[in-house]
Amino acid sequence: MGSGEWQFLRLQPGSPGGAKAYILACLATVLVGGLTFPFHEEMGNANVIMLFLLEVFLCALWLGQKPSLLAALLAVFLLDFFFVPPQYALLTNSLKYVVMLVVMLLIALLTGQLAARLLAQNRELQASEERTRSLYRMARELAGAARPEQVDAIAAHYPTGAAAGSLLEIARQRLHFAELAQASHVQVESERLRNSILSSLSHDLRTPLTALVGLTETLHLQGEVLSPAQQDMVEAVHEQSVRLADMVTKLLELARLSSGKLQLHKEWQALADVTGAALDLLGTALAEHPLKLHIPADFPLLEFDAVLMERVIGNLLENAVRHTPAGTPIHLTAQVTGQQVEICVCDEGSGFAVTDTDMKPNHAGLGLAICKAILQVHGSSLRLEKRSGGGTCACFTLPLGCPPVMDEELDEGFIT
């Protein structure tokens, strides 16, 4: 609060209040009167008035406006009664002294007023400084808070107010977003870990299978060095390793699909593109089953993940092949019904049991489980039903939606 030498000239916000202040003011005035009275003849009354003014001013500074007013009135009374002629009487006949007394009263009033205002301003300033410091401390503590309970504990320690409220709100939001960021970070990390495990598992499983499939096929191709029985065995090993590789692929795919956070690459696709590719992939597996495709040439584009939808079609066709005797036809149909399209793979065999849709530890179950998982992420589902004329249909629907338009302005007429 400044240097000590001029301390007494400072405002005293912590000065005594109430009756004590008035008594002190009176005592100070009486003291000044008592000390100056013996010498007032030599000093002259003007100087005595100066001393009284000083005393009143200090009273205003230290004791406040009202005690200083009392001091001023008392000083005027003392001056009038003891110092100003006629002594020991309240009335004065000299205009000089009347002016002197009135001016002194006015000065006392004004200084008291000024001092009081200063005091009030100072008090307000100190209070606001205290509030600011409290907010600053609170902000510092809040910055260190790591949990909502800590924020609540800090809030309880400090006075409430608009500024404190917004500080608390900011702290709570900070914690909230930190929590969200942490959660999403954990999720991203676990997703990344999962993908990298699946990826290295895929590599580690496929590499020996590739060698096995390739070695047996090569041996089989160079058949002349083997006896027919050995040829058969090599072919069987090859077949089994291809089957194993297929199963590993499907298992890994199912693992990827069931992680629940699959990234869909949805685009507007032509169904015929996907079915054609699925047929190519199946290759000779379909050779013994005449395939009837019923996809209209003007079939609309649909929004789906082409790679996954190719698996659905491929798995359904494979399933139909697996469960029907050679020579029976398989139908792949697609038609628009209202606001959606229905795609069905139907066979004419005895059909797989309709209850066989749950994931079971057999090959067909795996394929269908993959279909179900893929259709689920597309918001669709697989429906298996027995056909009245024998055979089974596996159907699913996809929404028609609004395919993007194509700008054909620059492609008119025929060049050939």
Partner 1 sequence: MNGNAVLVVEDELRIRQFLRTALEAESYKVLEASTVASGLGLAGEYKPALVILDLGLPDADGLEFIQILRHWSDVPLLVLSARHLETDKVAALDAGADDYLAKPFGVVELLARLRALRRRREKRVTDDHAVIRFADVVVDRANRSITRHGELIHLTPREYHLLTVLLAQPGKVLTQRQLLREVWGAGHSEDGHYLRIYIGRLRQKLETEPAHPRHLLTETGVGYRFML
- Contacting partner 1 (CB under 8 A), which of 38, 144, 389, 413? 413
Least CB distance from residue 308 to partner 1, whole Å? 9
Least CB distance from residue 139 to partner 1, whole Å? 48
Question: Could you say which residues in the range 265-284 bind partner 1, by CB under 8 A?
Answer: 265, 267-270, 272-277, 279-280
Least CB distance from residue 335 to partner 1, whole Å? 14
Q: Is 307 in the site for partner 1 (CB under 8 A)?
A: yes
Residue 262 · residue 377 · CB < 8 Å: yes
For CA atoms 77, 83, 86, 92, the dihedral sign is negative
Least CB distance from residue 138 to partner 1, whole Å? 51
Torsion of CA 7, 11, 15, 19, to 10 degrees: 130
**Contact letters (x/-) for partner 1, 173-212, by CB under 8 A?**
--------------------------x--xx--xxxxxxx
Interior CA angle at 279 toward 278 and 280, to 5°?
Answer: 90
Residue 53 · residue 108 · CB < 8 Å: yes
For CA atoms 359, 364, 367, 372, the dihedral sign is negative
- Measured CA to CA, the distance from residue 395 to residue 332 in angstroms comes to 10
Least CB distance from residue 299 to partner 1, whole Å? 9
User: What angle do the packed helices 148-157 and 162-221 form, to 10 degrees?
Assistant: 170
**Contact letters (x/-) for partner 1, 92-131, by CB under 8 A?**
----------------------------------------
- The bridge status of strand 291-294 relative to strand 330-337 is parallel
Q: With CB under 8 A as the contact rule, which of the stretches 48-56, 116-124, 295-303, 391-399 interacts with partner 1?
A: 295-303
Q: Is 213 in the site for partner 1 (CB under 8 A)?
A: yes
Residue among 304, 332, 308, 330 nearest 250 (CA): 308
Residue 236 · residue 220 · CB < 8 Å: no
Q: Which CB, 116 or 330, lies closer to partner 1? A: 330
- Contacting partner 1 (CB under 8 A), which of 109, 245, 359, 364? 245
Residue 133 · residue 141 · CB < 8 Å: no
Least CB distance from residue 388 to partner 1, whole Å? 26
Q: Which CB, 358 or 412, lies closer to partner 1? A: 412
Least CB distance from residue 271 to partner 1, whole Å? 9
- Measured CA to CA, the distance from residue 259 to residue 264 in angstroms comes to 13
Using the 8-state DSSP alphabet, how is residue 38 labeled?
G
Interacting residues with partner 1 (CB under 8 A): 199, 202-203, 206-215, 217-218, 221-222, 241-242, 245, 249, 252-253, 265, 267-270, 272-277, 279-280, 291, 293, 295, 297, 301, 306-307, 310, 403-404, 406, 410-416
